[in-house]
Amino acid sequence: MRTKLQKQISQTQDLEAVLEKGSRLLHILESKSPISQIRLDSFVKSETGISPLEKFGISFKNTYFLPTELGKLYGISGREANLLLENLGFQKKLEGIWKLTNSGKEFGMEVGEKFPQLKWKLDVLL
């Protein structure tokens, strides 16, 4: 009987620890920028095989990022990200301004009028 009771207490404590850890992780995910969330999600997923972002219904499928932000995800500079996007045929520099190519329109969008910029879906570099 004592062993059974100790086992139940241990399982309850384990469950409480898991819930506390999940609660802390959710708080971290909600308070971070999308780049930080994706990095943390990738780390946790590679360590556990489970993606906390997917678990909590957080998706960046329709989110657009600047080349600098994409570069941070892949460990390269914004300039290198722009050159990579150009080499992939998704953008072209015309009169000092990056413009989408026809194939780039699937992954990117132009924003800003006075200072035009291109933003990209995460899928662009996959």
Amino acid at position 56, single letter: F
pTM: 0.57
Helix (H) or strand (E) holding 94: strand 91-94
Report pLDDT digits (tens) over 30-81. Answer: 555 666 666 666 656 666 666 666 667 666 777 888 999 888 887 889 999 9
Whether the pLDDT of residue 12 is over 60: the answer is no
Count of C-beta atoms within a 10 Å radius of residue 26: 14
pLDDT for residue 47: 64
Report pLDDT digits (tens) over 112-126. Answer: 888 889 999 887 876
pLDDT for residue 86: 94
